[in-house]
Amino acid sequence: MTSPTRETGTHPVVAIDGPAGSGKSTLSRALAARLGIERLDTGAMYRSVAWAALRDQIDPSDLEAVAGVAQNLTIEVGDRVVADGTDITEAIRGPEVSAAVSAVAANPAVRAVMVERQRSWVALRGGGVVEGRDIASVVLPDADLKLYLTASPEVRAARRSEEGAEAVARRDRLDSTRAASPLEVADGAWVIDTGSNSVEQIVEEVLTWL
């Protein structure tokens, strides 16, 4: 399934990738607000699966069991994150989920389920701003605009102070080296250092690229 474009959809499709603490959520919210379209945080989807696996006392590295969790889990991602009817917005940002999410996201079967749901989300809305690790490279390779955000390790660690610099570096390593859809700069993506300019400045520049 290819992503809808402005010829076939109603709204632009904006794909935003980048490592932890690079500013994806902040920029995606600002862009979605300026464009008047919806936003999807795909990282929250993988965190929801990690939360559900831990809830069910399943080892995050158990590929088959975690894939089953992903297949059966009902996830709603918006201003709040709800899984199987439970609001887990705060819970998925806790240290246990943060420690487990990279293993869950590296599971090829989990990624297959989530990618299909993410593409369906965009198709149903005729566009949107979607952020994650493999959005421009795998999920929406035909997006109208592809962005890859980056910042220095020091800046990103400061933004994720609740996780700590070592945990952020570990996630970078796991996300960049996994076999299934590793974190990478997609062909045609604009690379933005979010540590250099304000969100408002970046939004203004990005809007000129659409």
Q: What is the pLDDT of residues 23-51, one digit of tens each?
A: 999 999 999 999 999 999 999 999 999 99
- The pLDDT of residue 178 is 76
Residue 5 lies in a domain: no
**Which phi and psi angles does 178 have, rounded to 5°?**
-65, 155
pLDDT tens column, 109-138: 999 999 999 999 999 999 999 999 999 999
d(CA 196, CA 37): 26
Residue 2 lies in a domain: no
Residue 51 lies in a domain: yes
Q: What is the CATH number of the domain that holds 193?
A: 3.40.50.300
Residue 7 lies in a domain: no
pLDDT tens column, 173-205: 777 877 788 889 999 999 999 998 899 999 999
Residue tagged 């090829």 (tokens): 108
Average pLDDT value over all residues in the chain: 91
Residue 166 lies in a domain: yes
The beta strand positions in 69-203, using DSSP E, are: 75-77, 81-83, 86-87, 128-132, 145-150, 190-193
d(CA 74, CA 72): 7
The total domain count for the chain is 1
Per-residue pLDDT, averaged over 132-151, amounts to: 96
Q: State which residues form the domain around 113.
A: 13-207
**Which phi and psi angles does 81 have, rounded to 5°?**
-115, 125
